[in-house]
């Protein structure tokens, strides 16, 4: 539980905001010095996502996606824009969203909205998104705020839409990282929060071919 490791909620959020303000607006900056794993990450995410976009009665649409904790738009550029007609981006760091406008190039014209906001305060527009993609950012929310945010995401989905979380998983319990003011939860804790938000898990997958020294990374699809 984050309540056991986060002593001061205000400090938890403001320290994280300050940390990201000093991070370079580059792919390497977004990935904490692991820019070289970006292609492995994107290719796995594409395979995971495409199983929901294939033809069928409950096929997830490809009209509009939301990239949460979008940074400079690494995922928007390489995963979402090639698959969706339009994308919205949300991130707490204004400099990253400014940089995104040049980083995304011509295709960036299909980004409709750049929302500068922490996810604890962000509400996706109801009934608007086919896919809400949340990667490497849930550790910046307390359990209660994450659960509440996922409830708002559920309301933001179009018919057959999905919410996807891709993030680091601890071996056991909840671990605090004082450097970037984030937490890393184990699989059971994350699954409990997903259930608490009223979402149903559709698929779960462990990322392969990442460096041994980093946390295990899992992807969840839910609606």
Question: 135: annotated binding-site residue?
Answer: yes
Question: 195: annotated binding-site residue?
Answer: no
Question: 50: annotated binding-site residue?
Answer: no
Question: 171: annotated binding-site residue?
Answer: no
Angle, CA of 26, 17 and 20, to the nearest 5°: 20
Question: 119: annotated binding-site residue?
Answer: yes
* C-alpha span between 143 and 197 (Å, rounded): 11
* C-alpha span between 145 and 140 (Å, rounded): 10
Question: 92: annotated binding-site residue?
Answer: yes
Question: 74: annotated binding-site residue?
Answer: yes
Question: Mapped to the 3 state alphabet, what secondary structure does the chain carry?
Answer: CHHHHCCCHHHHHHHHHHHHHCCCCCHHHHCCCCHHHHHHHHHHHHHHHHHHHCCCCCCCCCCEEEEECCCCCHHHHHHHCCCCCEEEEEECCHHHHHHHHHHCHHHHHHEEEEEECCHHHCCCCCCCEEEEEEECCHHHCCHHHHHHHHHHHHHHEEEEEEEEEEEEEECCCEEEECCCCEEEEEHHHHHHHHHHCCCCEEEEEECCCCCCCCCEEEEEEEC
Q: Determine the distance from the C-alpha atom of residue 184 to the mean position of all C-alpha atoms in its chain, rounded to a whole number.
A: 14
Q: Which residues define the annotated binding site for S-adenosyl-L-methionine?
A: 69, 74, 91-93, 119-120, 135
Q: Which residues define the annotated binding site?
A: 69, 74, 91-93, 119-120, 135
């Amino acid at each position: 539980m984050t309540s056991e490791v986060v002593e001061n909620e205000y400090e938890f959020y403001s320290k994280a905001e300050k940390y990201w303000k000093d991070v370079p607006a580059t792919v390497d900056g977004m990935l904490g010095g692991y820019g070289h794993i970006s292609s492995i990450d994107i290719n796995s995410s594409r395979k995971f996502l495409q199983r929901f976009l294939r033809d069928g009665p409950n096929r997830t649409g490809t009209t509009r996606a939301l990239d949460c904790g979008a940074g400079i738009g690494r995922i928007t550029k390489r995963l979402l824009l090639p698959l969706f007609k339009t994308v919205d981006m949300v991130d707490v760091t204004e400099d990253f969203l400014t940089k995104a406008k040049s980083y995304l190039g011509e295709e960036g014209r299909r980004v409709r909205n750049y929302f500068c906001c922490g996810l604890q305060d962000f509400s996706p527009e109801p009934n608007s998104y086919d896919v809400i993609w949340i990667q490497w950012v849930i550790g910046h929310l307390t359990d209660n705020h994450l659960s509440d945010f996922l409830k708002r995401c559920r309301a933001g989905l179009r018919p057959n839409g999905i919410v996807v979380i891709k993030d680091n998983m601890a071996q056991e319990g909840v671990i605090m990282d004082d450097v970037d003011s984030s937490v890393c939860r184990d699989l059971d804790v994350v699954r409990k929060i997903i259930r608490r938000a009223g979402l149903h898990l559709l698929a779960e997958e462990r990322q392969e071919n990442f460096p041994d020294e980093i946390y295990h990374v899992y992807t969840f699809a839910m609606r």
